Amino acid sequence: MWYQVTLYRGGLVTSALSFIAAASTAFLPDNSIAKALLQQNLDTLYALGAGSLGLSLVLIHIYVTPIKRTLQILWALGLLGSLATSLNLAQPAGEGLVEYVIDNPVAVWFVGPLFASLTGLVFKEGLCYGKLEAAALTFVIPTLLLGHLTGLMDDNTKLGLLGVWMALFVVFASRKFTQPIKDDIGDKSVFMFNAKSEEEKAVILRQREE
């Protein structure tokens, strides 16, 4: 199980680093070589981040299977939406996917489910482990996307939220390296106990009392 946890965390960290690298272009100087290099690879970073997130959602430990499947379906819908937007809208307009979504807020409808799955994942991390940065991301991610989609948020506010998202993601990714492996394996004993018959439960409780 430890290798699955390692892959799960590796996917999260890779996804976070990909996002941070791509988002940093909004803050780097226009004449920066780093900015030019990153801008040329925004879609590659997006694909790497999306793929890494998908890996983590396959390996994520959630007891309630329907919730896990919902997050995976949202991710798949977001991936399909991203591909459709890239092929049918961005490329004909001579733009990359990320650039197109920035210039055309309505495209958030197509890529949004992928970020919804990310929001669900960080919500789970915040709820299960009491991580404040994960809980904050649960609000920052949809707020920024909805602000961009609706046009109700000015550019300075969006940049501020983007910076907060990046900072929280750095903390979130860093703390996965210090978290005990057992945390992401989980304890299914309660669910196994509840699945037993009343007679079996009585026997187990009696044995524990003895």
Distance CA(138)–CA(120), nearest Å, equals: 7
Counted domains in the chain: 1
Query: CA end-to-end span of the chain, whole Å?
Result: 32
Is 199 within a domain?
Answer: no
What stretch of H or E contains 111? helix 108-129
Q: Are 83 and 23 in contact (CB under 8 A)?
A: no
For the cut 60, the answer to whether the pLDDT of residue 159 exceeds it is yes
Who has greater pLDDT, 186 or 120?
A: 120
Q: Coil, strand, or helix at residue 28?
A: coil
Is 82 within a domain?
Answer: yes
The residue-averaged pLDDT of 161-188 equals 77
The residue-averaged pLDDT of 63-90 equals 95
pLDDT value at position 193? Answer: 39
Q: Are 140 and 76 in contact (CB under 8 A)?
A: no
pLDDT value at position 197? Answer: 62
What is the identity of the amino acid at 64?
V
Who has greater pLDDT, 128 or 80?
A: 80
Q: Are 133 and 171 in contact (CB under 8 A)?
A: yes
pLDDT value at position 97? Answer: 97
pLDDT value at position 200? Answer: 58
Residue 138, both tokens: 């649960």
The number of CA neighbours under 13 Å toward the Cβ of 209 is 6
Q: Give the residue carrying structure tokens 């509840």.
A: 194
Is 45 within a domain?
Answer: yes
Give the contacts of 195 (CB within 8 A, at least 6 positions apart).
none
Is 41 buried (19+), middle (13-18) or exposed (0-12) by CB count in 10 A?
Answer: middle
DSSP for residue 168: H
Residue numbers of the domain that contains 132: 2-185
How many CB atoms lie under 10 A from the CB of residue 168?
21
The residue-averaged pLDDT of 3-28 equals 91
Distance CA(166)–CA(59), nearest Å, equals: 24
Distance CA(43)–CA(86), nearest Å, equals: 9
Is 202 within a domain?
Answer: no
Is 137 within a domain?
Answer: yes
Who has greater pLDDT, 61 or 44?
A: 44
Is 204 within a domain?
Answer: no
Q: Coil, strand, or helix at residue 61?
A: coil
Q: Indicate the pLDDT class of residue 189, thresholds 50, 70 and 90.
A: very low
The residue-averaged pLDDT of 96-119 equals 97
Q: Indicate the pLDDT class of residue 175, thresholds 50, 70 and 90.
A: confident
Is 94 within a domain?
Answer: yes
- Give which of 131, 178, 65, 143 is closest to 123, Cα–Cα: 131
Is 171 within a domain?
Answer: yes
